[in-house]
Structure 1
């Protein structure tokens, strides 16, 4: 369960949603091991707001994850990935993009299953993000900058678009 702008929102992703998340996770896995990072969907707190997020995937330093029992802050992540669903696509596109930027998450990757595209947001600001790379249609590689420095293959994200 997440809290988005004060509204309690149940999280129960579909298998197609989970499959898209796994496509990203698998491509990151070797690089995460090299950099001593871990990925997961742990809680993110946005203090001073009515928000408590559970991203589809967040990447954090392994030592930080190992000693944190509660929530982390978005600025403690290195990458946040949200995969849109029909019920929450606008939240991922607008609200979370703005909030993750405001709370200092350095990179936010939106896998937009409804629009069949990926967009990478970087350079967080008080209003969201200053840099927008995309949207890129599924099948177009998306470059994840340092510390990842890898091209994400998005072709396998292109399963049937959810309705």
Structure 2
């Protein structure tokens, strides 16, 4: 197997080309995790967990002039393009944006599935911190726990609140300043 030339003399940047192609897939959405294209097709149980969190933070997000959604997050300089289960972003940043950076978010939420639990627990946690997402909430359905990560840095999050078993109230710090009820996850 031959390797691609390192100089990209034809002017094509492989990272940009891959991410462009991914955005133009018809039908299903997909993300890139460490260079591997993965379809995004959550189950209803998975969606219910994400919606439970969204319902609890929606009013506060509006007060902060933010939107909640699962839009694209680009991690430039890497072969990663994520579609979080839920993100809270300033409305002004989201308007007209094809993709945002994790640092543009106020909160990123990932809900594990059997097929991606380790990715959410390890890879995405590390990458979200590296790319400056201030808060990362991991809803681990297999472990039936919730962990809030904060204080991001190049080596990961330096603070973890949890894991807390379902049923425990988890405090989202400012700018949210609210308590998440995890009993119905």
Q: Give the TM-score of the pair, scaled to structure 1.
A: 0.94
Match of 1:51 in 2: 80
Q: Which runs of 4+ in 1 moved over 2 A?
A: none
Displacement of 1:152 in angstroms is: 0.3
Q: Which runs of 5+ in 1 are unaligned?
A: 158-163
List aligned pairs for 1:13-162, cutoff 5 A.
13-68=42-97, 70-157=98-185
Return the alpha-carbon distance in structure 2 between the equivalents of residues 2 and 121 of structure 1: 22
* SS of aligned partner of 1:115: coil
* SS of aligned partner of 1:155: coil
**Larger relative contact order (C-alpha < 8 A, sep ≥ 6)?**
1
Return the alpha-carbon distance in structure 2 between the equivalents of residues 33 and 72 of structure 1: 19
| RMSD over aligned Cα atoms | 0.6
Q: Deviation per CA, 1:40-77, whole angstroms, max 9, x where unpaired?
A: 00000001111000000000001111132x11000000
Q: Which runs of 5+ in 2 are unaligned?
A: 1-29
2:23 paired with 1:9: no
Determine which structure has more spread, i.e. the larger CA radius of gyration. Answer: 2
